Amino acid sequence: MGVDSSTQSCKAVLVDAADGTVVDARSVAHPPGTAVDPRAWSAAVDEATAGLLERADALAVGGQQHGMVALDADGAPVRDALLWNDTRSGPAAAELVAEMGGPQACADAVGSVLVASFTVTKLRWLRDAEPDHAAAVRRVLLPHDWVSLHLAAPGTAPWTDRGDASGTGYHDPATGEWRHDLLVAALGHDADLPRVAGPGEVAAATAAGTPIGAGTGDNMAAALGLGLRTGDVLVSLGTSGVASAVSATPVADGTGVATGFADAAGGWLPMVTTMNAAGILDLQARWLGVDHAGLAELALSADVGAGGVVLSPYYGGERTPNRPDATGTWTGLRPTTTRADLARAAVEALLCSVAEAVDRLVAETGEEPRRVLMTGGATRSPAVRALAPAVLGRPVVLPPPGEYVARGAARQAAWALSGAEAAPAWTLTGEEHLPLDDALAGRYAAVRTAYADLRERTAP
């Protein structure tokens, strides 16, 4: 069984360990917001796994990255967990980067330049904004750690994995060691941190004795679920927009655009992440009074470049580029602008954003992708499918629909159960290949330039 404890919901998927075929699945919603009581995740995983857990020979959890689960001496949350998309710690991130000697020194120390998403910045915010809560903290976990521990037998010591740990800001992915000095600098005092379990390890067991794998962050789990290999680039268009690449070597990007995360299989997963992705289309559909099919139809009826309308879609702040206080900006609006232009501009902005992410990964890894795969809810849009290869400038592969975070966690559980040196080889069938239209891609060069120009003009 694989569990995906995401921002929006908890999904549990029971699969055949031999080939990854889905046997059964359940889903339960999580509370909305960027600060959530982690006990809500416990209740959700109990409901989602009811009737499945008893049938599982092993399990593992993939969870949203970065969230701060701060616990007191009794193991209870001192406050609601701050999630990855809570931007209140933006100033704290800037302070910590400066204290570490600047962006490149920060990237060299923890693999990434800190932004508000990282756990360590939320601990600094807690120290300064809620000192009584900060003083009460005795242990810090990540969301997937909390859910894994909830499923384990009473008295089990907490654990995490190298993939999710690499996104905290107080872990050195190059050495695999916790940086308690950075934790102390952020929180004001030391705290217990979970053991880092190895890839394929049986980390614990349920009260009934069912083995539990290490678990990992959601992006690392998705890489496992899709069977990504070196040279693959994955673009995920969900709540966030994520471009990740499987790499044989670590990345330490001092510009802060690419984060140098570890993966769940012993390698590396450099990543570029935006906060605004599918929500760009959600908001535009709501404004235009249409559903997503209607939005796509409108967008495809407009010409390339949306009649000169350009959108910088940082509605809720942004992570890449690091602009936690940004808002959305439209330009090029004229009396002749149509509803179709507005729809097209929203789709083009989404794709320009992820195209820049892919380009950055190519620059960091030093090689052209073997494949670009695209997943996530926004890929259901006919407009996204039609325009993605041209905007990205590369052919795109759409894997068959599936819960790939949960599938990756299930693959990790099967790995732990087998005791093998590598995860089992599961294959995917039913991929859809979106070819590159060179002529259309040529027309999108100007759109990419206009998007980049607006981004720079609106820089703080």
Catalytic residue numbers read 218
Using alpha carbons only, give the angle 6, 378, 84 rounded to the nearest 5 degrees: 30
Alpha carbons 66 and 449: distance in angstroms, whole number: 32
> Is 358 in contact with 336 (CB distance < 8 Å)?
no
Burial class (CB in 10 A: 0-12, 13-18, 19+), 18: exposed
- For the chain, helix, strand, coil in percent to 5 are 40, 20, 40
Name, in order, each residue with C-beta under 8 angstroms of 58's C-beta and a sequence gap of 6 or more. 1, 17, 202, 210, 211, 212, 213, 413, 414, 416, 417
Alpha carbons 444 and 450: distance in angstroms, whole number: 10
Structure tokens at 418: 């087998």
Alpha carbons 138 and 447: distance in angstroms, whole number: 51
Alpha carbons 97 and 104: distance in angstroms, whole number: 9
Residue with tokens 């992440």: 273
Alpha carbons 50 and 10: distance in angstroms, whole number: 12
> Is 43 in contact with 26 (CB distance < 8 Å)?
no
